[in-house]
Amino acid sequence: MPTKLDLLPGTLDVMVLQTLATLGSLHGYGIARRIEQISGDQVLLNQGTIYASLVRLQQRGWISAGWGISENNRRAKFYSITKRGRHQLAADAAYWQRLAHVMGSVLALSPGENR
Amino acid sequence: MREMFARIASFFRAEKMDQDLDAELASHLEMAVDENIRSGMSPKDARRKALAKFGSIEPARELHREARGLPALDTLLQDLRYTFRALRRDAGFTTFAILIVGLGIGASSTVFSVVNALLLRPLPFRDPGQLVWFVNHNESNGLSGQTVQVGHLLDMREQNKSFSGLAAYMAFYGVGDNKLTGQGEPERLTSVPVTENFFPLMGVQPQLGRQFTAEECKWNGPKAVLLSHGLWVRRFASDPGIVGRALTLDETPVTVVGVMPASFDFGSIFAPGTRIDLYSPFPLSPETNRWGNTIAIIGRLKPGVAIQAAQAEFSVLSEQLTKAHPRDRNELDAKLSPLAEHVGGRLRPALLVLSCAVGVVMLIVCANISNLLLARTATRQKEIAVRIALGAGRPRLIRQMLTESVVLSCCGAALGVLLAVGGTRALAHLDAFSIPLLQNVRTDASVLAFTLFVAVLTGLLFGLVPALQVPAVALHDALKDTSRGSTEGKRRSWTRDSLVVSEIAFACVLLVGAGLLMRSFLRVLDVNLGFQPERAATLRVDPSGRNLTQAQQNAYFDEVLRRTRDIPGISAAGLTDALPLGRNRSWGAPAKGQVYAKGEYPIAFVRIVSDGYVKALGIPLIAGRDLSERDTPTTESVIVINETMARRLFPGQDAIGKMVVACNDNGRRVVGVVGDVRHLALEQGAGSEMYLPIRQCNDWSSVELVVRTTLPPAELAAAVRAALKPVDPNLAANEFRTVQQLVDKAVSPRRFVVMLLGGFAVFALILASLGIYAVISYSVSQRTQEIGIRMALGATAGDLQSSIIKQTLSLAAVGMLLGVAASWALARSLSGLLFGITATDPVTFAGMLVVLTTVAALAGYLPARRASRIDPMIALRSS
């Protein structure tokens, strides 16, 4: 079994934002599960670390939070993305796409190829 | 920005947020368990799996805290809590460290507050940078040489382009010249006559009432005075209705037109050590012009004009004015300097020395505490090792150590501030010290800021060396090393030794500095004053009543002297218009008939005295006779001169019988020659001095009775007052001064510096000896086993003692070697403050070496004696 991917710094925040942007209001557990599912369990995620990310995003005003009741009747804290969060997500997404593109091009260079 | 606020907010709501997080985590796990159960796991497996997926809970919490709060502050608080625990545990060390840091910082802050008041803080006037002080010729010439004639002031005002205004005060005001009668006890007050524009130019407003009007500033204008704040409070109980009232000054009614504010203290700026009670208007008129050089000038530069440019203008102007008035005016040679320089400048070298000294004291304090901390680190090795084992990084440990030392120094600073407040209060009340602005010395915001800065700096400084030693403690060794017998690291003992050596070297520098100044001070006190201040006392006895004829005055003088001399216990009495080390003035005094080249015209200090003055003050009569009560207007005009004057006017001849022109144009016969008197300052030799008989020359402005007596001062005052009652029932009660007080006041700035520097040197010596003691006794306690073995092998107590003392002295010797070299280099900068000795005074250096060696030997002897009493059996078994 290949080892799981370590998360680069800053990536978890983007994942959380994207999850909330697509799924609307969600609790911490739901977010964590969703990220695991999307990444096809390739990411090494200690679910506990997600809460540091959540509080950070909250303090920056990109997401908001409130206690509510889950689908299984459990009390849980629900998070949803704010307007500023969507702006931030757009910027971050563009950045990561550019980076991924550049990385892809660089790694596509095969030996002997000249430009 | 928003995040920062959120972080600060969560820092203060940490508990609430932790609870919130815990609830959230719990619900997270429940949901995970629920889901796992739904997918068919047993409840036990479901929980295990959920926990595994979640990761460890504590790091998650920690991450959460770091993400939301202020991690740096959290650690700091932790460090502080830990520090306070550690310091409380070591109460003895903590107390000692706080005490010496407190003393050091107290001294630094006190010196800083003096420097701040005298040199840094601007003078309490409007735009003080524009104010300029005028000196005629130069400052070493006595007041007559420094002051300017009224006519010159008026012309300079007209013709100059550099100044927006020139104001002046009359420099020959006398202490206690004005007698206040009418309400309560008669009292002598001191009044300064100032020009109409004096207060406006300085930018000072009366607190009550108004300033002088043009009318009041005319010759024989309406009599008006402004009260000083001090007099108003003291004599008139801060009566707000005082303005407009009439006082009786010198038996003349004078109207109070206002009260000056407390912030304006003429004495502390222009006449340090003098209490000024009143300000009166000084007319700039032909009459005052005829008085000759009388005024001291202060100018306000126009904005943008540099003092150099003004000086250039006034050099030319002085020459022109002098040329234009060859006969009716004295020479003018205006020298300009910033007023602040005139006020504080003279003390600058001394203050610089004090500042450096206090800096050195702080370095010694730092070295001392560094050493103690080092010893403490050594005993805390295990604790440190445990912390490393538990995962504390080196940076964290170093930070912890520095936190401890900064906390120590800040606690010390708190004590230091208390000491500084006390110190500055004490200094501000040194009324008798003729040091300018001393009353303004206080612990203000800038002093507190300085203290905080010094506290943090010293904390870091003395914490640095022990903190850097931390990584050197090998974890493995420290945990394993359980015996005290193993020799401590070479490096640490080297650090310790060099700290002690530097302490000794610093103490050496301070001792030399203090020693040199102390010796100078003693030399100054030892100076042959030319008079004997012991057992001489003086009292103002100006004749009351205006417009007395010379005959009436003479009758009054005869009566005062006769009655005083009749008092049992008084061996001599005389009158004078000028006491030594006080006011002085000089007149031209040529030998009759002699023609002098330009610039060589003889000038002499003037004293107008009665018979008996010379004897009462203890001035030796060298040749001829003293003045006598028969030297009156009807007999021949006579004069007594001092040796210098006799030598200058009549070189190689007998002065007795020669003629000198002074006080009248026909010449006076020299009847006596007396010894020189140090009239200007103790450090300054006398110039020509002449004594004119008070019964022949009434150009005096005050009369002091001088008596030589065996009576104690209090008894004397009562006796004299009783004896003079019939002659002058209104004799003022205050101001019976001993001549010794005059001398003390003259040396007070020097005494001030010596006092402070001596205190620092003693403190430094104590610290250095404690430092030596600490190091030696530490090394003895580390070597208990070794000593035990030596004794078991037959070393005697004497051998051990001498080897330990030798170790001490070799440390001291290295320190003293460095210290002597440094002092040798630095002492030169003191030369301006020295008197009668050179900067390399061998007595001082030798004395310092003896003192330090003795102290070092003593500091080494105590641990040595302890070592020699070690019982070898116990020592060997001790591990």
For residue range B833-869, list pLDDT tens digits in order.
Answer: 888 888 888 899 999 999 999 988 888 888 888 888 8
pLDDT of A95 > 60? The answer is: yes
Give which of A46, A72, A73 to mutate to test B binding, by max B Cβ within 10 Å: A46
CB within 8 Å of B652: residues ≥ 6 apart = none
- Does B183 lie in the same domain as B152? yes
pLDDT at residue A1 is higher than 70:
no
Cα–Cα distance between B275 and B227 in angstroms, integer?
12
Whether residue B237 is predicted with pLDDT greater than 70 in this model: the reply is yes
Considering the domain boundaries, does residue B80 fall inside one? no
Contact list, B7 vs chain A (CB under 8 Å): 59
Give the whole-angstrom CA distance, residue B774 versus residue B825.
30
- Both structure tokens of B145: 């040489």
Nearest to A77 among B24, B54, B63 (CB): B24
Q: Which residues of A touch B18 (CB under 8 A)?
A: none
Within a domain: B339: no
CA-CA distance, B217 to B197, in Å (whole number)? 10
Q: In the predicted model, is pLDDT for residue B477 greater than 60?
A: no
Asked whether residue B321 falls in the same domain as residue B416, the answer is: no
Cross-chain Cβ contact A52/B60 below 8 Å: yes
Task: Tell me how many residue pairs between chain A and chain B have CB atoms under 8 A apart.
Answer: 82
Chain centroid, CA B229 distance in Å: 24
Structural domain contains residue B121: no
Structure tokens at B684: 């300054």
Comparing CA positions, the residue from B197, B221, B219 lying closest to residue B297 is B197
Contacts of B330 (CB under 8 A, 6+ apart): B149, B292, B293
Measured in angstroms, the CA of B78 and the nearest CA of chain A are apart by 21
Per the structure, the complete domain to which residue B568 belongs is given by 542-730
The percent of residues in chain B predicted with pLDDT above 70, rounded, is 95
pLDDT score of B489: 58
Structure confidence at residue B228 as a pLDDT band (50, 70, 90): very high
Q: What is the DSSP letter of B346?
A: G
pLDDT value of residue B139: 58
Which of B10, B20, B53 is nearest residue A47 as measured by Cβ atoms?
B53
User: By three-state DSSP, how is residue B613 classified?
Assistant: helix
Indicate if B698 and B787 belong to the same structural domain: no
pLDDT at B444 over 60: yes
Note whether A52 contacts B: Cβ–Cβ < 8 A: yes
Helix runs in B13-90, H state only? 14-38, 43-54, 57-68, 71-89
A72·B34 Cβ contact <8 A: yes
Q: Beta-strand (E) ranges in B636-753?
A: 638-642, 659-660, 668-674, 689-693, 704-709, 737-738
Interface contact B27-A48, CB threshold 8 A: no
Average pLDDT, chain B: 85
- Tokens at A33, concatenated: 């599960």
**Confidence band, pLDDT 50/70/90 cuts, at residue A4:** low
Exposed, middle or buried: residue B264 (CB in 10 Å: 0-12, 13-18, 19+)? buried
**Nearest one of B428, B432, B431, B458 to B443, comparing CA atoms:** B428
Q: Is the pLDDT of residue B229 over 70?
A: yes
Q: Contact at 8 Å (CB) between B418 and B106?
A: yes
Residue B793 in 3-state DSSP?
A: coil
For residues B784 and B840, state if they share a domain. Answer: yes
- Strand B293-301 to strand B737-738: parallel, antiparallel, or no bridges (unpaired)? unpaired
Of residues B729 and B603, more confidently modeled: B603
Whether B517 and B614 map to the same domain: the answer is no
Q: What is the DSSP string of B170-236?
A: ETT--TT-EEEESSSS-EEE-EEEE-TTHHHHHT---SEE----TTTTSTT---EEEE-HHHHHHHH
Q: How far is CA B498 from CA B187, B508, B810, in A?
A: 63, 15, 12
- Any idea which residue has 């997401």 for tokens? A63
Same domain (yes/no): B600, B723: yes
Angstrom distance (rounded) from CA A14 to CA A6: 15
pLDDT at B524 over 50: yes
- CB contact at 8 A, A63 and A82: yes
Structural domain ending residue among the three candidates B306, B332, B358: B332
Q: pLDDT band for B482, please (50, 70, 90 cuts).
A: very low
Residues B582 and B704 in one domain: yes
- Asked, for residue B341, whether it belongs to a domain, the answer is no
B379 domain residue, yes or no: yes
Q: How close, in Å, is residue B62 to chain A by CA atoms?
A: 9
**Contact flag B34-A48 (C-beta cutoff 8 Å):** no
Q: What is the mean pLDDT of residues B757-776?
A: 86
Which tokens in the block code for residue B2? 């928003």
A49–chain B Cβ distance below 8 A for any pair: yes
- Which of B63-67, B96-100, B328-332, B640-644 reaches the highest mean pLDDT? B640-644
Mean pLDDT is lowest, of A15-29, B643-657, B793-807, for B793-807
A52 neighbourhood in chain B, CB within 8 Å: 60, 63-64, 66-68
Task: Over range A69-90, report the average pLDDT.
Answer: 88
Residue in B6, B34, B57 closest to A59 by CB: B6
**Higher pLDDT residue, A44 or B574?**
B574
Are B30 and A47 a contacting pair at CB < 8 A?
no
Give the Cβ contact number of residue A107 at 10 Å.
8
Q: Looking at the 3D structure of chain B, how many domains does it have?
A: 4
* Cβ <8 Å between A56 and B68: yes
Q: Which residue in chain B is spatially nearest to A52 when comparing CA positions?
A: B64
First to last CA, chain A: 38
Determine, for residues B32 and A47 on separate chains, whether the beta-carbon distance falls below 8 Å: yes
Strand, coil or helix: B731: coil
Indicate whether B366 and B301 sit together in one domain. Answer: no
Cβ–Cβ below 8 Å for A48 and B54: yes
User: A68 at the B interface (CB within 8 A)?
Assistant: no
Query: Residue B690: its pLDDT value, please?
Result: 92
Name the band, by pLDDT with cuts 50, 70 and 90, for residue B486.
Answer: very low
Q: Which residues of A touch B63 (CB under 8 A)?
A: 48-49, 51-52
What is the structure's pLDDT at A112?
A: 57
Nearest chain A Cα to B21, which residue?
A51
Question: Does pLDDT of B312 surpass 80?
Answer: yes
Residue A115 has pLDDT above 70, yes or no: no
Residue B123, in any domain of the structure: no
**Residue B201: which residues within 8 A CB-CB, separation 6 or more?**
B165, B166, B167, B298, B299, B300
Q: Which domains does chain A have, with CATH numbers?
A: 11-108 (1.10.10.10)
Q: Given CA atoms A101, A103, A106, A111 in this order, what sign does their dihedral have?
A: negative
Residue B817 has what pLDDT? 93
Rounded mean pLDDT, B261-278: 84
Q: Is B397 exposed, middle or buried (0-12, 13-18, 19+ CB in 10 A)?
A: middle
Nearest C-alpha of chain A: how many angstroms from B9? 10
Measure B35 CA to nearest chain A CA, in Å: 10
Find the mean pLDDT for residues B516-531.
88
Q: What is the largest CA-CA distance in chain B?
A: 140
For residue B82, is it within any domain? Answer: no
Percentage of residues in chain B having pLDDT higher than 90? 19
Note the pLDDT of residue A113. 52
Nearest residue in chain B measured CA to CA from A71: B31
Whether residues B707 and B809 share a domain: the answer is: no
Terminal Cα-to-Cα distance of chain B (whole angstroms): 60
Torsion on CA atoms B108, B113, B116, B117, rounded to nearest 10 = -150
Q: B292-327 in b/e burial notation, b at 16+ Cβ within 10 A?
A: bbbbbbbbbbeeebebeebeebbeebbeebeeebee
Nearest by CB to A46, which of B2, B24, B55?
Answer: B55
- Among B176-180, B278-282, B553-557, B772-776, the range scoring the smallest mean pLDDT is B176-180
* Centroid of chain to Cα B474: 50
Written as six digits, the tokens of B691 are 């004594």
DSSP sequence for chain A: -PPPBPPPTTHHHHHHHHHHHHH-SEEHHHHHHHHHHHTTT-B---GGGHHHHHHHHHHTTSEEEEEEE-TTS-EEEEEEE-HHHHHHHHHHHHHHHHHHHHHHHHHHPPTT---
| B55–A47 C-beta distance less than 8 A | yes
My answer on whether B227 and B289 are in the same domain is: yes
Most confident of B139-153, B463-477, B755-769: B755-769
Three-class DSSP category at B75: helix
Average pLDDT over residues B106-130: 88
Q: How confident is the model at residue B774, as a pLDDT?
A: 81
Test mutation, B2, B56, B64, chain A, max A CBs within 10 A: B64
Q: Are the beta carbons of A55 and B68 separated by less than 8 Å?
A: yes
Following CA atoms B224, B227, B228, B233 in sequence, which dihedral angle do they give, to the nearest 10 degrees? 170
Instruction: Show residues of chain A in contact with B30, CB under 8 Å.
Output: 74
In terms of Cβ atoms closer than 10 Å to its own Cβ (0-12, 13-18, 19+), residue B97 is: buried
A61 touches chain B (CB under 8 A): yes
Asked if A95 has any chain B CB less than 8 Å from its own CB, the reply is no
- Total Cβ atoms within 10 A of residue B276: 23
pLDDT band per the 50, 70, 90 thresholds, residue B259: very high
Q: What is the pLDDT of residues A28-48, one digit of tens each?
A: 888 888 888 888 777 767 787
pLDDT at B671 over 50: yes
Check whether B149 has a pLDDT greater than 60. Answer: yes
Put simply, whether A53 touches B (Cβ < 8 Å) is yes
What pTM was estimated for this model as a whole? 0.74
Last residue of a domain, one of B54, B69, B84: B69
A chain contacts of residue B26, beta-carbon cutoff 8 Å: none
Q: Do B546 and B584 sit in the same domain of this protein?
A: yes
Residue of B153 and B8 predicted with greater confidence: B153
Residue to test with chain A: of B28, B57, B70, most A Cβ within 10 A = B28
Question: CA B66, B71, B72 angle in degrees (round to 5)?
Answer: 160
The ipTM (two decimal places) reads 0.83
Handedness of CA B108, B114, B118, B120 (dihedral sign): positive
What is the spatial distance between Cα B663 and Cα B642, in angstroms, rounded to a whole number? Answer: 17
Q: Which of B699, B730, B761 is the last residue of a domain?
A: B730
What is the rounded distance in angstroms from the CA atom of residue B794 to the CA atom of residue B786?
A: 13
pLDDT category, B258, cuts 50, 70, 90?
very high
Question: Which residues from chain B sit within 8 angstroms of residue A47, using beta carbons?
Answer: 28, 32, 53-55
Q: Which of A13, A55, A62, A64 to mutate to test the interface with B (most CBs of B within 10 A)?
A: A55
- Co-location of B476 and B438 in the same domain: yes
State mean pLDDT over B614-629. Answer: 91
Q: Does residue B572 form part of some domain?
A: yes
